[in-house]
Amino acid sequence: MKSLLEGLPPEIAQRIHPDWQKNEAEYWAQREKLLSQYRDQWIGFANGRVIVSGTSPVEVFHAAQESGQHPFVTCVGHENEPSRMRRTVFPYDTTYPNEPLPVITADLLL
């Protein structure tokens, strides 16, 4: 499988940690085995094993990054589908039941 780094501009690709490259290569070597257990789940993969899995890409990404192992994060079985994660800061309504929701201003044009 072609590395994701091959699609990056060289000045960006050179900034990627070598451990991430190793983890990506090891993921692809084990992908067929991982499909049966982790299909349609997001995983963080480092040092030859799944270190975190779940349905939320943001939660998996944050948990995987906390490991400090430069993990490869992907959705198993959907590796070639585009996905975007953006970091944006919003104030949150902490009085909302269950999980706080972001507070935003919106203009409606009718």
Separation CA 21–CA 8 (nearest Å) = 13
Per-residue model confidence as pLDDT tens digits over 42-89: 999 999 999 999 999 989 999 999 999 999 999 999 998 887 766 677
- Number of Cβ atoms within 10 Å of the Cβ of 78: 13
Model pTM? 0.72
Check: CB of residue 30 under 8 Å from CB of residue 77.
no
- Number of Cβ atoms within 10 Å of the Cβ of 74: 25
- Number of Cβ atoms within 10 Å of the Cβ of 23: 23
